[in-house]
Chains A and B, each alone.
Chain A
């Protein structure tokens, strides 16, 4: 690494500054939603549907009220709440809006759908109450797969959605693409599916709601990534002015997208608190979190790609169907997965011709939410399978075929009308391969093959759009267009700084990384800087945290606001000294005169004014301020990305060994070369990569929610839903490249999702590499031991066949 000049080395941005959230989290002083206890607080549980699809014949909760400890029970009829409706601004031929009632009315559409809320003196009594509820169902035939949903004459999950189709878009169709396929020397196809997953934050969802008489506000403590949008929906559903709802988010035990949609239970809990005028707590148990909470990821791709004889991709034709489950989630709608896949599938490759159809179908399964990476783990997997298959057909090295296709000239505008900002697509690929070679994995693979063992090496290349500004989301035609962020930076009379962000930390270290940005901008000790987030009364507005937008967009707003405050500090100091603001510089907690003092009008003025002294003037000695400077020290700034966004990129490599006896896939090595622009805190970036890769491996090898023919979910506990442990997740070597981003204030691009995006493709390609002698190729995740075992047995069979026939 090159030696930095002295001044730059003093900056906090770029350094692995110790996390400021750690001491409280390590000593048990974190405050999560279930840690909140209010006087007179009651506890809620939900009567949930036990069938996947039915008319509600009757809901009799009279016996529930007789259960000791139960205080109240409410059905949809009792609460009369407004429905949650997610919208896209698209014609009905492309998008069908559907309503998600807070509590089921008339009909249930998945096992676990909430029907009534039971409120009791404690959670145990509330659970006792559930057993006394009598719900009778007039069952309807359930729709439990994408194929069944689209079949002619399929039962309808929502009467208004013909063919169970909520979204049907064909965003791109290059003229002449069919002729390209007809004349191409090499055409490969995959029929790829990915399993339904649970984002699975360790802290389940939950809420504590109470009415504050003094503020005339409903206060809703809940673990959400999007506090302001939860406020909007809660106030509309309860028919309150929006200012009469305050959403407060305490520490949050992960979210990964599952908590970036508005759930029904927190609104029902708020309604119960309003009715009873007592605090009501609801904490989701793990059984509900696994089966009835928001799920994700179940997609089916039928994709074809045409290549020339040198392995250059000529055309891509894809049909993707996403199984969105029973309801369209707010605010993203059922469009989230098919629109993401359709818009971005070409990924890091130069693609001349593209046709895509993206659909979202509704089924009688738990509804889906975005999950870390959204569609990109899947379409990257499909793209990478297509390249691997073409490489085999054309007898090319798998890395070489990628090298011939990745975008190298920036800015590059793709066939999907996206302009990619500069990245290190080729450099990361080359370096990743080099790191794998240097560790001798190719030799180890050859040696293993000689011993009859099955070692495979797989790669994946991808980019991820991170800085989704309003412009990029507006293209989706969402009715709620996220994009900008607002930050306020305020200095108090002690010279200490509080600042806000509209993003919402749930493990990404915002308290540290954003404070690094402010401390650098103002030249202030980081201990004097404190972030506030997750309170709709304290933060003007925000879209929360998803799509790796916190540092790119939130961090940029923070930096701009800090810079504005810095300007005011300079202006006040300059006025004191009778000089111009550009003659003042900030640093080490003080304003200084750049040149030697030469200010006859204020003879006793010092060369230096500490922030405390400036703040004293701004608040307590405001008569000293010139007329054009307002008292007080606060500044607000907004930031947005007005082009197609910013793109982090990476190459992942995975080495696996397949065990013939058990079909187990063991990961021997994992290498990641990532480029998220300027890394504000490299240790935090590495943490995001490692955690993301673990979740990607989980999707590749372990986790899946399946349903039986009646729509009963298989995974209701951790015995069935296999979350990988330290046994299954390998150590990961991470190498950083840094292509600073021109579109953000910090040069950062965002690092939250890349790990999860790259891992499934790298693992699947490695497994397929290990299976190469068998001739079997797998295009489905999770890859089960049974599949691998069967594939390896086919080796023996074909070897045996060869022996017999020779």
Chain B
């Protein structure tokens, strides 16, 4: 039987990561990427690895609310930042996902489903986090701007059209909700 990596590996460090509002202590090699720590050490497997060189965007997560390629960042570099993964979008948050159905999907996730903006679903978490970060920054984004941003990630199934339409519909609905007297419940959707 193989020996425990904690004992054998000379270069390990203890880091603390703030993921979806929870603090996690991880013993890891300095070279370990953020996406590998999220997926394999914290078991938040919603974030996917598509290329490991920062092009496909399947590993996109939010770091301090901005979309980041988690395959291009070492986990150690994310210490002190607030990290959000796809598991944070549904209302049960934190990737608990207990029960058969899991949590309620948020408005962006629902828009993806309504517009058939996913097929195999592998790239989907990356697109969701990309859109979540982008719309928070530019809630007034036009469809053309959304298409520009969608072009940062790769999808092999959909031909992109429905992804653009889903994000645009979500942005429009959010603006509509805000155009009404901005009550607390409308704000909460965001």
Contacts and interface: CB of A to CB of B under 8 A. Distances in A.
Interface of A: 16, 18-19, 21-32, 34-35, 37, 40, 42, 68-69, 71, 121-124, 200-204, 251-254, 256, 283, 285-286, 506-509, 683-684, 686-687, 690-695, 717-719, 723, 725-727, 729, 731-732, 755
Contacts of B46: 27-30
Nearest to B91: A27
A24 B102 contact: yes
Given A26-B128, A27-B102, A729 B159 contact: yes
A375 B23 CA distance: 53
Contacts of B80: none
B87 A28 contact: yes
Contacts of A203: 48, 50, 120, 122
Interface string B151-167: 11111111111111000
Interface string B28-50: 01011000100110011111111
A352 B32 CA distance: 64
Contact of A35 (B5, B45, B118): B45
B156 A201 contact: yes
B188 interface: no
Most buried by B among A40, A200, A254, A717: A254
Given A27-B105, A29-B102, A251-B121, A691 B51 contact: no
A27 B52 contact: no
Nearest to A734: B161
Contacts of B53: 286, 717-719
Contacts of B48: 32, 34, 202-203, 253
B83 interface: no
Chain B facing A: main interface SS: loop
B119 A507 contact: yes
A31 B118 contact: no
Chain A facing B: main interface SS: loop
B23 to A, nearest CB: 20
Given A29-B97, A718-B56, 14 more contacts: A25-B124, A26-B128, A27-B46, A34-B48, A35-B39, A124-B32, A203-B50, A251-B121, A254-B156, A692-B159, A718-B154, A719-B53, A729-B160, A732-B161
Interface string B88-119: 01100001010001110100010011101011
B62 interface: no
Nearest to B112: A26
A27 B97 contact: yes
Interface in B1-36: 1-2, 5, 8-10, 29, 31-32, 36
22 contacts: A19-B113, A19-B116, A26-B86, A26-B113, A26-B118, A27-B87, A29-B102, A32-B45, A69-B9, A201-B122, A202-B50, A202-B56, A202-B122, A204-B50, A253-B121, A283-B49, A507-B119, A692-B159, A693-B159, A727-B147, A732-B161, A755-B159
Contact of B105 (A26, A37, A123, A693): A26
A127 to B, nearest CB: 10
B85 A122 contact: no
Most buried by A among B45, B103, B112: B45
Interface of B: 1-2, 5, 8-10, 29, 31-32, 36, 39-40, 43-53, 55-56, 58, 85-87, 89-90, 95, 97, 101-103, 105, 109, 112-114, 116, 118-125, 128, 147-148, 150-164
Contact of A725 (B39, B89, B154): B154
Contact of B120 (A23, A201, A695, A725): A201
A32 B124 CA distance: 13
A726 B164 contact: yes
In the A-B complex, the 4 residue pairs with the closest CB atoms: A28-B46, A253-B122, A25-B121, A507-B120
A37 B40 contact: yes
A439 B183 CA distance: 43
Contacts of B44: 28
A22 B162 CA distance: 14
Contacts of A755: 159
A253 B120 contact: yes
A286 B2 contact: no
B120 A506 contact: yes
B161 A23 contact: no
Contacts of A695: 156
A727 B5 contact: no
Contacts of A121: 2, 5
Contact of A690 (B101, B125, B162): B162
Contact of B113 (A22, A37, A726): A22
Contacts of B86: 26-28
A686 B116 contact: yes
Given A37-B40, A201-B156, A691-B159, A27 B120 contact: no
A251 B120 CA distance: 8
B154 A509 contact: no
Nearest to A252: B120
Contacts of A124: 29, 31-32
A726 to B, nearest CB: 4
Given A121-B2, A286-B52, A718-B51, A22 B40 contact: no
B8 A68 contact: yes
Nearest to A283: B49
B154 A23 contact: no
Nearest to A122: B5
A68 to B, nearest CB: 7
Contact of B116 (A29, A69, A683, A693): A683
Given A124-B31, A507-B120, A34 B49 contact: yes
Nearest to A254: B120
A22 B118 contact: yes
Contacts of B31: 124
Given A285-B52, A286-B52, A27 B109 contact: yes
Contacts of B103: 27
